[in-house]
Structure 1
Amino acid sequence: MLNKISFMRSFLKKFLLIYPFIYPFIFAANAQNYQISLLTCDPGDELYSAFGHSAIRVLDMESNQDIVFNYGTFDFNTPFFYVKFTQRTLDYMLSVSTYERFLYEYNYFQRNVREQILDLNPEQSKQLVQFLQVNYQPSNRFYRYDFFYDNCATRIRDAFEEVLGKQLDWNEKTEPEKKTFRNLIDEYVYPLPWADFGIDLALGAVIDVDAKEREKQFLPDYMEEAFARAMIVGDGPTRPLVKSSHVVLQFDERDFKMGLFNPYFTWWFLAILVMVLTYMGHKKKKLFKGFDILFFTVLGMLGILIVLLWFFTFHSQTKYNWNILWAFPGHLALAFGLWRGSLKPWLKKYLLFALILANLCLVFWVFGVQSFHPSIVPLLLVVILRTNFLYYNWEKLQEGKRINV
């Protein structure tokens, strides 16, 4: 993984050094005959590439200049890169490269690439290239990235809609398959179980609504399907937008096997361990509060992260995140109180409050308020079990007798 990230950084550094010089070279040509294609790239092995990629290929049929316009470029060397990425204040940009250089990266990572050659007339092709030229101007090439609504795929869709206007008919399905935004994400992150868990932990109830056909196009594969269905109308006989399709790069499909270290196994192992620990504590009159201090500290820290994503970032998708019901920031106060041993009366009330929150999370799940990651079930069981156990053994905590820390 580190080798892949190093490669990407090296690749981008070299690319960012050369692409200003590509610009005048490309646009110096005054060609009239272009072949326009949509390139769709399969998902990669890392989270940043897990959803695939889209780009526009422009082939000048007269000079054989072969250029790819890519709306999915960002600079790893941006100051406070990860902070800006988390806050959604990181700008992406339209970049250009040669077709050969574009394919080099996908060949290196062994990711399939497909091409759809579009049936645009010369005037439409020329207008699209002019649109991309204007977009590539230094004052226009940067944009504020939004994973669902403004990314490498949706920018391409918007470009074609701007150029073709009413001549572009998406020919949407009459009875599309209903999928929520979360369902769509899950289709791609299942090979990355911890990333899947993290995404479900970070994103709120706002993504548990059905996505319209147009909204599904934030994913390159769905954009590819949309282009395959689309028609050009009002320009002579109605014709498909896509004239022909073919595979550019194809590699053997890799089998996905989930390793033992995954959220499901890890959290169920933890839950079983806690059940045994609690049973032993009940039999031997011990509370094992050291575990509770650690456990509720971790949950409290997760709760702070949820609050930060909810209230202190520009991500609309992290709002109304009811994971906060089980990973609540106040759990830090509970952990601190248990650690200090100064057991105030409010701590007992807080145990009851935490128990109610955990049960409320289950209610929200059952009634479809938010879809949670399935692996949190054992975590909820641990919260419910330990808050119950501590609540009903409060007197022992106060006495401080036979407590194993």
Structure 2
Amino acid sequence: MNSTFKKLFLTYTFIYTFSFFAQAETYQVSLLTCDPGDEIYSVFGHSAIRIINQETGQDLVFNYGTFDFNAPYFVVKFTQRTLDYMLSVTTFDRFIYEYQYFQRNVREQVLDLNPDQTQEIIKFLQINALPENKLYRYDFFYDNCATRVRDLFETVLGNQLQWNDQPNAEEKSFRELIDEYVYPLPWYDLGIDLALGSVIDAQASERHKQFLPDYMEAAFQRAIIEGDGPSRPLVLSQRTILEFPERNTGGSLFNPYLIMWLIAIVFMVITYFGYKRKRLYVGFDVALFTVLGLVGLLVVVLWFLTFHSQTKWNWNLLWAFPLHLGLVYGLLKKEASVWVRKYLMFALIMADAAVIFWILGWQSFHPSLIPILLVIILRTNFLYYNFEKFKKHKLNMEK
């Protein structure tokens, strides 16, 4: 698509959209809430705004959750949090087709707004949909498809909008809220717990919970409008647009819990035989600490070289440390180096510190990492006390 065609297409789209709103006097505004999908970017669900022109039948959806897969350096920008999301406008039929195809439930809450409030909502969306305004820098917790909807209504309705939060709502951390959605997907769960730091172990307020579309939907259901007549619920009516049978998310044997414990058992066995036969079997340690070092590099990149606020202060770095790659070099040398034993003690202390951080609640690590921490403590202990002795024994045997 050349640039001239793109400009004509955008011009037509916005003229069409604005004329749709300009010619009508009666609108219906509603919140659409979509259930989670199977991909990592859809696993937490979605929110969008639907506006129907009840005189002409035109039906549009305003969607703050779109981005361009074809953007230059997409993966790098997504990782660094420099990828812009956008407000897109589409017909309801085109919007709902995707959810029909992937069999994701969609619910609608029709809102009880007066004409002035409705016009202000439409005006706000018109301005936001302009090419110069539609892009925004996405933040998973604080600026996403759900929070943008919330912020829109708070801006337009002001003090007339009362969220009517539950006084005795269950306290949850950001990590616990995420776990509700990724628990059936243990590899996603592990990846998120590795990538995100201790900042997401903070307690989420009722407002903070609204970054999740399901919680945003519940907040809309409780909300009331005051100050323009008798108080009334924000939601006038609700209905289910798409509903599918509940999907079977039965667990697979190929999950991090089983894999990590199998790894731990292997290391326990080779440590036992290594002690009996006066052998180090450092090949296993080379593989282990190579993986840990690479994971540590990823943690460092996400912490220091991206703009994600949630990847800061990530104490997975205590056990997955980039300098473990240096230990790999030391283990592969034929002659024992003094610094290797010192580093083994350092790695042991770091792993112990990770356990302490976990116990004290300074950061919650993924449960499948328990056997890996045990392996690190076991092998660093074993190598620290036997590295020089068994190395010399091996050299003497070779002679």
- Pairwise TM-score range, normalised by the shorter structure: over 0.9
- The alpha-carbon deviation at position 340 of structure 1 amounts to 2.8
Contact 2:292 2:324 in 1 (8 A): yes
User: Which amino acid in the other structure matches residue 70 of structure 1?
Assistant: N
Matched, 1:28 2:7: no
| TM-score of the aligned structures, taking structure 2 as reference length | 0.95
Deviations 1:115-173 (A, max 9, x none): 00000011111110010000001110000000000000000000001111111011111
Question: In structure 2, what is the equivalent of residue 243 of structure 1?
Answer: 236
- The alpha-carbon deviation at position 394 of structure 1 amounts to 2.0
Question: In structure 2, what is the equivalent of residue 231 of structure 1?
Answer: 224
Partner Cα distance (1:178, 1:200) in 2: 20
- The alpha-carbon deviation at position 402 of structure 1 amounts to 6.6
Deviates more, 1:367-376 or 1:336-345: 336-345
Partner Cα distance (2:396, 2:325) in 1: 20
| TM-score of the aligned structures, taking structure 1 as reference length | 0.94
Deviations 1:50-100 (A, max 9, x none): 000000000011111100000000000001111111100000000010000
Question: In structure 2, what is the equivalent of residue 379 of structure 1?
Answer: 372
Matched, 1:325 2:331: no
Question: In structure 2, what is the equivalent of residue 8 of structure 1?
Answer: none
| Aligned partner (choices 294, 298, 305) of residue 305 of structure 1 | 298
Partner Cα distance (2:209, 2:251) in 1: 27
Partner Cα distance (1:105, 1:139) in 2: 27
Deviations 1:282-317 (A, max 9, x none): 112211001111110110111111011111100111
Contact 1:36 1:57 in 2 (8 A): yes
Question: In structure 2, what is the equivalent of residue 38 of structure 1?
Answer: 31
| Aligned partner (choices 160, 165, 169) of residue 167 of structure 1 | 160
| Aligned partner (choices 108, 111, 114) of residue 107 of structure 2 | 114
- CA, structure 1 residues 17+271, in 2 after alignment: closer, same or farther (shift >3 Å)? farther
Q: Which runs of 5+ in 2 are unaligned?
A: 1-5
- The alpha-carbon deviation at position 190 of structure 1 amounts to 1.3
Partner Cα distance (2:344, 2:17) in 1: 66
| Aligned partner (choices 44, 61, 65) of residue 72 of structure 1 | 65
Matched, 1:347 2:343: no
Deviations 1:262-294 (A, max 9, x none): 110000000011101111111122110011111
Q: Which runs of 4+ in 1 moved over 4 A?
A: 15-20
- The alpha-carbon deviation at position 20 of structure 1 amounts to 5.8
Question: In structure 2, what is the equivalent of residue 188 of structure 1?
Answer: 181
User: Which amino acid in the other structure matches residue 84 of structure 1?
Assistant: K
| Aligned partner (choices 268, 283, 295) of residue 288 of structure 2 | 295
Partner Cα distance (2:312, 2:179) in 1: 19
Residue identity over aligned pairs, in percent, reads 63
The root-mean-square deviation of aligned C-alpha atoms, in Å, is 1.7
| Aligned partner (choices 85, 93, 106) of residue 100 of structure 1 | 93
Question: In structure 1, what is the equivalent of residue 3 of structure 2?
Answer: none
Question: In structure 2, what is the equivalent of residue 7 of structure 1?
Answer: none
